[in-house]
Chain A
Amino acid sequence: MDESELHEFVHMHYPRLVGALALVCGSRATAEDVVQEALARAWERSLRGQEVESLAAWVTTVSLNLTRSHLRRLRTERRARPLLTGRPHDDVSLTDAQIDLRRALAALPRRQREATVLRYYLDLDVLEISRVMETPEGTTKSLLARARATLARALRTEDAREVREY
């Protein structure tokens, strides 16, 4: 990877990847941090002569892993809340419908949430999602179907039944 490839990636993929990870982890600052960290690792790899076959897939996978680590840290640090002075929150104004969707998304099991965002926000197909999440295609389909069934209810659509046929 040379610097022009890095520029190209940042221009082409960075904005949507940050948007996607913000949906996964609920924090834009964390999303920016983990994508930049993943890019730094990819760059460092290339300096060591270890080329990354598909930069977009590699950075997406590592960013997702880093996001999970962030969630782990939040979980472990919540015990320290009485000792800490406040916690940053994203300053975002949302409609009621968006709040409903965000809650529904947050309530999904992690893998379902990740698959959903990769599918509907990054527009990856099942095969690409399987590669990024390192899951078999059947598992990916199952994750998407379950997530879709749950989210359909949150969207208050009338066609809750159709999702079972996915």
Chain B
Amino acid sequence: MNEVDRQLRHDLEDLSAPGDPSGVVDRVLRRAARRHARRTAGRWLLAIFVVVFSITAFVALLRVFPSPSSDAAVAAQNGLIVFSDYRIVGHHKDGSQILDGWYLYTIDPANGRLTRIGPDVVTEALFPTWSPDGERVAFLGYARDASRPRSSVYVANVDGAGMTEIFHVPHDQQVEGLHWSPDGTRIGYQLASPEPNLIPGVPSYTIWSMAADGTDHRQITTSGREMHFAWSPDGETIVVERFEPVAEMRELATTAFDLFVVDVDDGAEFRLTDDGVSRYPAWSPDGSGIAFSRGASGDSHVATVWVDGTGLREFESASTNEGGVVFPHGNTVMWSPDATMIAFAGRSVDEDVCSISALSVDGGTIRTVVSSPSQLGCPGQEGMSWAPAMEPVSSENDPTTAPSPDPSLSPDRNDESNTTEPQDIGIAFRVCFAERLGGIDHLGDGTNGNAWTAVSVKEDGTCPRYPSPERYLLAVDYTGDRVADSWIDLPIEWCASCAPWDAADLDANGTEELIIASYFSIMDYYFFSVRPDASGAIRVEPILVASPGHEPARILPGEPLRIDAGGDAGYSSTIECEDYPSEPTIVWSWSYWVIETDQPQEVHVTRLELQPDGLFHVVHTSDFSVPADTPSGVGLQTELGRQCGVDWYR
């Protein structure tokens, strides 16, 4: 043991005294008993509630719903989901601040295509909501350069461009939970504001709406205890959660929440639930039902009721919060536009995975739409919204142009809508959590090939609950029939949300190399080739680094090349490209910036070429130091755009 080890042990010991064990056993047992009692009481309350409430609810319902729409057509097809997620994406160019925060992403549930839509001028983009036509997104943004929190409601195009500030939120107020009204004319929101007549320190929470241009604000609820809500499809009512009065802010985590239906114009209301554990409502597109999160904090799941409060159906496997510590600000439950699925943001504390998942309403099956390991936030925790499809189904899925299914294949082959049931992609065993990237010309023969990352099934033939880093594989289809032709165990040490990212011709020889991304705080990229071996057999292989590599930059000979992009509390990197597409050279720069240090920071700039021997060669290096607190020039990849044909930061 050397000096550093000894000193660390000694100093950490001094820094944190051990905890006091006295009375802990009693507290643990009481806590366990309370957890058990909550579960039991919830079931009994449910039984009583269903009997009593179903008798009275229908009468009350008629006051608010004189003519519930029974013929609401649900013709919409499902488009992109937009959600807010906390991610670390790099540094400012001057090195002064880590570019982290809540950013907006869209994901296509049909193929898992994830896209960051910016915008970078706000440090936190939250509570995104699609316009009903799916052409614009409204969200709440916090200004990046403000010395104190300064938020506004913005509207932008789908790609994040054309951003317009429509409402600046007063500094002593807080806007959350934006929801565009079904007719597109208004945007509803939850307003938290200090109220002198209420308990000090506990904001007043009310629901408001404004015109889609940010004017004409109208208050919908008045009790000061309404938080998350959703519009009815006709826009005449909202369903909203209301909490029991609290004496201080921290009690919000444990107080009772129930759902109410409130008329937007006159405030007439009726109670939808009476169990004290109902939150985050979402109104079905056909108007017939409400989905919501039911259960005590830390043990909640998706449930549905009809709009009269009857017909409670619980989906206990669709856990919306297994941990109980997180305090979501956005709605965490929403319907798909075609009303066949309920998407929900969930989190498993024990397994430390966050995800947005889609629950099929008919069969109760669940598939993961997007997941990530623990970061400082969860996808969807700060709002999400599902748009209708903007365009007809792509020709790729058009039955008139898609290749005919091979009758020898099992019926569920190519059914990529299902990621929690074992799937057959054409290899010797079934896989789970398959992520496919199409349009890859692996061999340079013009074929529209594919690549999948997937997780192999467990020994009992079922899917693991979450993707396991040890079970990841990479499969490729180089004949273009969407059936895997070759596969390997994915040689990535820690596969976190691994997925095919892109393909590009990095050696200018007419074939495309495959790039696999592993996301864990930063994006790690690995490179794979599909090419014939000495016997002529086509193999998929990681692309290795040629000797001697460049050890100072941790580019090691004989190892698969891994480069990364982004920042992780002091780390920053940039991926650039020279002479693409004729003679591509990847220029990878990185530095490790130690916060509050008086030491110089090391910067590594390495030029890499994929040469005809199939290896990445280091062709130029530059390692240097810059004084502490001096910009290293590394970072802000987002300003670079595509490099070597790849959008490393999309």
* Residues of A that sit less than 8 Å from B by CB: 3, 6-7, 10-11, 14-20, 22-23, 28, 31-32, 35-37, 39-41, 43-44, 47, 61-62, 65-66, 68-73, 75-77, 79-85, 94, 97-98, 101-105, 107-111, 116-117, 120-121, 123, 135-136, 138-139, 146, 148, 150-155, 157-160, 162-163
Other than A40-B28, A69-B326, give 16 A-B pairs with Cβ distance below 8 A.
A15-B18, A23-B16, A35-B19, A37-B31, A40-B32, A47-B32, A65-B323, A69-B323, A75-B86, A76-B328, A101-B11, A103-B596, A120-B9, A150-B592, A150-B594, A151-B4
Q: B35–A79 contact, CB under 8 A?
A: no
B376 in contact (CB, < 8 A)? yes
Query: Is B172 among interface residues, defined by CB-CB distance under 8 A?
Result: yes
Partner of B15, one of A15, A68, A101: A101
CB A118 to nearest CB in B, in angstroms, measures: 11
Bound complex: CA A158 to CA B569 (Å)? 25
B259 contacts partner chain A, Cβ-Cβ < 8 Å: no
Q: Which residues of A contact B24 (CB under 8 A)?
A: 10, 14, 36, 39
In the complex, whether B360 has a CB less than 8 A from a CB of chain A is no
Q: Roughly how many angstroms separate A65 CA and B326 CA in the complex, as a whole number?
A: 12
- B465 within 8 Å of A (CB atoms): no
A–B Cβ pairs within 8 angstroms, 19 of them: A15-B21, A18-B18, A18-B19, A28-B16, A35-B19, A36-B27, A37-B31, A40-B35, A43-B32, A76-B328, A79-B149, A81-B149, A82-B172, A98-B15, A101-B11, A110-B374, A153-B597, A155-B7, A159-B4
Q: How far does the alpha carbon of A114 sit from the alpha carbon of B328 in the complex, in Å?
A: 25
Q: How far is the CB of B542 from chain A (nearest CB, A)?
A: 16
Interface flag for B192 (CB, 8 Å): yes
Residue from B19, B172, B376, B595 within 8 A of A107 (CB atoms)? B595
Residue of B nearest to A158 (CB): B3
Closest to B19 in A: A18
Q: Note all chain A residues with C-beta closer than 8 A to B570.
A: 107, 109, 150
Q: B164 at interface (Cβ–Cβ under 8 A)? A: no
Chain A residues within 8 Å of B20, by CB: 15
- Whose C-beta in chain B lies nearest to the C-beta of A133? B352
Count A-B pairs with CB separation below 8 Å: 208
A44 with B32: CB separation less than 8 A: yes
Stretch of B230-238, B377-385, B405-413, B416-424 at the chain-chain interface: B377-385
Query: In the complex, which residues of chain B have a beta carbon less than 8 angstroms from the beta carbon of A148?
Result: 4-5, 8
Say yes or no: B29 contacts A32, CB within 8 Å: no
Q: Which residues of A contact B323 (CB under 8 A)?
A: 65-66, 69
Picked from B17, B25, B35, B347, the residue with its CB within 8 Å of the CB of A6 is: B25
Q: How far is the CB of A121 from chain B (nearest CB, A)?
A: 5
Residue B2, interface by CB 8 Å: yes
> Which residues on B sit within 8 Å (CB–CB) of A36?
24, 27-28, 31
A71 and B194: CB pair below 8 A?
Answer: no
A79 to B381, CA, bound (A): 14
B349 within 8 A of A: yes
Q: How far is the CB of A40 from chain B (nearest CB, A)?
A: 4
**For B171, what are the chain A residues with a Cβ–Cβ distance below 8 Å?**
82
* Residue of B whose beta carbon sits closest to that of A70: B325
Assess the B493–A82 pair: CB atoms within 8 A.
Answer: no
Q: Which 10 A-B pairs have the closest CB atoms?
A: A18-B19, A15-B18, A69-B325, A40-B31, A85-B201, A107-B595, A40-B32, A19-B16, A65-B352, A43-B32
| Given A23-B16, A120-B9, also A109-B521 (CB < 8 A) | yes
Contact A10 B201, CB 8 Å, known A65-B350, A98-B15, A148-B8? no
Contact A80 B325 (CB under 8 A): no
Min CB distance B28 to A, Å, is 4
Q: How far is the CB of B170 from chain A (nearest CB, A)?
A: 10
Q: Which residues of B contact A111 (CB under 8 A)?
A: 521
Chain A minimum-CB-distance residue to B328: A76
Most chain-A Cβ atoms within 10 A of its Cβ — which of B15, B249, B569? B15
Chain B min CB distance to A16 (Å): 5
Q: Nearest Cβ in chain A — how far from B609, in angstroms?
A: 26
Q: How far is the CA of A111 from the CA of B192 in the complex (A)?
A: 35
List the A side residues contacting B194 at CB < 8 Å.
Answer: 83
Cβ of B249 and Cβ of A120 under 8 Å apart?
no
Interface status of B51 (Cβ within 8 A of chain A): no
- The CA-CA distance from A61 to B596 in the complex, in Å, is 30
Residues of B within 8 A of A62 (CB): 349-350
Contact B3 A159 (CB under 8 A): yes
